[in-house]
Amino acid sequence: MEASLGKEDAFAARRAQPTAPQLFTATSCADVAIVILNYNGAHFLRQFLPGVLAHAAGARVVVADNASSDDSLALLRREFPQVELLVFTENLGFCRGYNRAHDELRAASPVPPRYYVLLNSDVAVQPGWLPSLRQLLEASPRIAAAQPKLLAHADPTLFEYAGAAGGYLDWLGYPFCRGRIFDTLEADRGQYNDPRPVAWASGACLLVRAEAWHQLGGLEPAFFAHMEEIDFCWRAQNAGFEVWYAGGASVVHHVGGGTLPKASPRKTYLNFRNGLALLYKNAAPSELPGSFALRLLLDWVAGLRFLAARNWPEAQAVGRAHWHFFGQLGYWRQRRRLASPHLRVRERAGTYAGSVVWAYFAQGKKHFADLMKK
């Protein structure tokens, strides 16, 4: 199958596009609720929350605590009394935690927020990050969500893994980014400063239109964590919305890896299980049989590679992921019906018609620009 990102760009150009902000202006964001989901992240709150408060542009700042056992609550009450608190009695995970937080904000607010920001506690925001995102969504009611440029906190010259300069998907549902393919991070030289529609926007820092959030039912609760924002954005596109990367006008720095370490059987399990569910829920009916079968095959190849390397925990994680996905197939069928997927690969922004696995590992295409070449 021929791979061409140029066709996606041409498709995007044919759509009526909002005028993207190029410069920061001190617009009030009083209709925005910045929601930080916290679990035992007192060290991150102490380090990064002052910056969020300094650059909130009038927005509400809310910390939703997932039953932390550290001193997060004491810290917030002592040092950040201006921050609103939502305290949960159990760890609801990323997905259910944000769903609960946004439902409570909508129910309890005399004037509910028009926009939510899902913000990881390990993100350092920069001046102008929020007004620039909000201006983008204000420009068109079709835009459901947008992300800033994500740079690595440890080395801000590099893009950050969990979103970089906007998320893409190949035809098998494998995610990658402008600025990051698998583990290869590009240096930021301003090459991705242009705002554009993408397939998905990073949950590390995500501005979402509240109306679209509730219409789509928030995040998939069965995911717990990992790929939940990709699923949300894919469902948004199937529902007629757009998802955008805001370009160089909005920048944040992300630590990353704060929830689970990079090499973790738990993370491997979630990535493989949620990857199958992501594709199964959202692929167009005509494309699902072929793409899903090949995705299963590639998962098995990955599992065999773990076995060959005698990495038993990771191999077992792949096996558990498949076992649990098919054990819950009835649930995923129901979720697919609710999602009503219909858009084919070439009808969605931010998609790559080929296999990014093949391009990266077999053809040595390590950078986003390499995929653009004919």
* DSSP sequence for 97-156: HHHHHHHHHHHH-SS--SEEEEE-TTEEE-TTHHHHHHHHHHH-TTEEEEE-EEEESS-T
pLDDT digits (tens, 9 = 90+) for 136-162: 999 999 999 999 999 999 999 999 999
Topology annotation, domain 5-254: Spore Coat Polysaccharide Biosynthesis Protein SpsA; Chain A (3.90.550)
Query: How does pLDDT run across 36-53, given as a tens digit for each residue?
Result: 999 999 999 999 999 999
pLDDT at 15: 38
Beta strands in the chain (DSSP E): 32-38, 60-66, 84-88, 115-119, 123-125, 143-147, 149-152, 167-170, 175-177, 180-181, 184-185, 196-197, 205-209, 242-245, 251-254, 351-352
Domain ranges of the chain: 5-254, 265-348
Residue closest to 185 by CA, chosen among 148, 146, 147, 156: 156
Output the pLDDT for position 55: 97
The pLDDT-based confidence of 373 (bands split at 50, 70, 90) is confident
- Percent of the chain's residues with pLDDT above 70: 91
Q: Which residues of 24-57 are buried (b: 16+ CB within 10 A; e: fewer)?
A: beebebebbbbbbbbbbbbebbbebbebbeebbb
Residue 342 has pLDDT above 90, yes or no: yes
- Average pLDDT taken over every residue of the chain: 92
For the whole model, what pTM was predicted? 0.91
Per-residue pLDDT at 22: 41
Contacts of 345 (CB under 8 A, 6+ apart): 171, 284, 287, 351, 353
Q: What percent of the chain has pLDDT over 90?
A: 87
Model confidence at 261, pLDDT cuts 50, 70, 90, reads low
